[in-house]
Structure 1
Amino acid sequence: MAVVYLGLGSNMGDRRDNLESAIQKLDDHEAIEVVNRSSILETEPYGKTDQPNFMNMCVMIETRVSPLDLLEVALSIEHDLGRVRKEVWGPRTIDIDILLYEDLELSLDELNIPHAEMHKRSFVLEPLSEIAGDVVHPGTGRTIEAMRRALEAGETNV
């Protein structure tokens, strides 16, 4: 079983229920088990700021699903929970990002692992450090907690 970390966010509808529904759908998948979860944080929007605040969190899963198949599972859950992709960084009922998949480094048009922007996003690093602070980012060689502290100190080129 592969250990994978996912970032979840919602800023439309019942945000907390959207997060809980996504976690339940992940856990209901026959080849995925949700084994840990962070606290839920309320955060300001990133990128496109003229929209409602988000609720963000991270989960740790164990899975037999390949990275590309996991992306399909995530996209399917987003669709099932009403996500419509109208604009980049726009409002959404649910967003599920694959942050880390074991120590894999993958760069494809449709998927980058580790997530290419996670080191710039406190709404990712803060909840991720809560459940995976000692995990080493395969691209930087730094722990998630060290990356969180660096971002907090104003460093974005980790």
Structure 2
Amino acid sequence: MSKTQLRAWIGLGSNLEDPLVQVSTALQELKLLPDTTLAARSSLYRSDPVGPPGQPDYINAVAALDTRLEPETLLDALQAIEQMHQRVRKIHWGPRTLDLDLLLYGDQVISTPRLTVPHAYMTERNFVLWPLAELAPELILPDGRPLNTLLQHCPLGTLEKISL
């Protein structure tokens, strides 16, 4: 466990088995993580699927966690929540009951065999950037890029806010 509390940003997504319930339940489960506080959560958003064609739409959100957990310990906890939701990893970018991504961990840059932070695709995904901007519009990524600059290159498109 880290002695310092850091802000971690988590991306949530689901497109199987009642995605609204999956994401809403996962947000509640994040509150139960040890040495961690759910500091904020975005609205829920509907997004088009990324990956293989023929998938249902996704429900997405972003959560801010204040945590003392080390990055890989937090990743383990996130994957345990995914497993409670019967997450199956068969197809890359395929449909899933729940996906929890560690987007940012403080201002750290992490590259290990298990974990890449900032998340490799977060700057390209409207379903990550727009909910993140709802919570932290002034956020600066570890590489110095302001979130509001990234939004200018990642249009809202068909992303739709569906609830608070």
Asked if Structure 1 and Structure 2 have the same fold, meaning a TM-score greater than 0.5 normalized by the shorter chain, the answer is yes
Structure 2: where are the runs of 5+ without partners? 157-164
Alignment of 1:27-46 (within 5 A): 27-46=31-50
Instruction: Give yes or no for the alignment of 1:97 onto 2:101.
Output: yes
Deviation at 1:149, TM superposition (A): 1.6
Query: Counterpart in 2 of 1:67?
Result: 71
Instruction: Give yes or no for the alignment of 1:81 onto 2:85.
Output: yes
Please give the alpha-carbon distance, in whole angstroms, between the structure 1 residues aligned to 2:37 and 2:53: 34
Deviation at 1:53, TM superposition (A): 0.3
Normalization by structure 1: what TM-score? 0.92
Please give the alpha-carbon distance, in whole angstroms, between the structure 2 residues aligned to 1:79 and 1:34: 20
Q: Which has the higher helix share?
A: 1
Identity %: 37
Instruction: Give yes or no for the alignment of 1:148 onto 2:148.
Output: no
Matched positions, count: 152
Normalization by structure 2: what TM-score? 0.89
Instruction: Give yes or no for the alignment of 1:9 onto 2:13.
Output: yes
For residue 96 of structure 1, give the secondary structure of its aligned residue in structure 2.
strand
Please point out which of 47, 50, 58 is paired with 1:54. Answer: 58
Instruction: Give yes or no for the alignment of 1:121 onto 2:102.
Output: no
CA RMSD after TM alignment: 1.2
Letter in 2 for 1:100: L
1:39-59 per-position Cα deviation (integer Å, ceiling 9, x unaligned)? 111000012232000001101
Structure 1: where are the runs of 5+ without partners? 154-158
1:128-151 per-position Cα deviation (integer Å, ceiling 9, x unaligned)? 111122111112x12212211222
Deviation at 1:23, TM superposition (A): 1.3
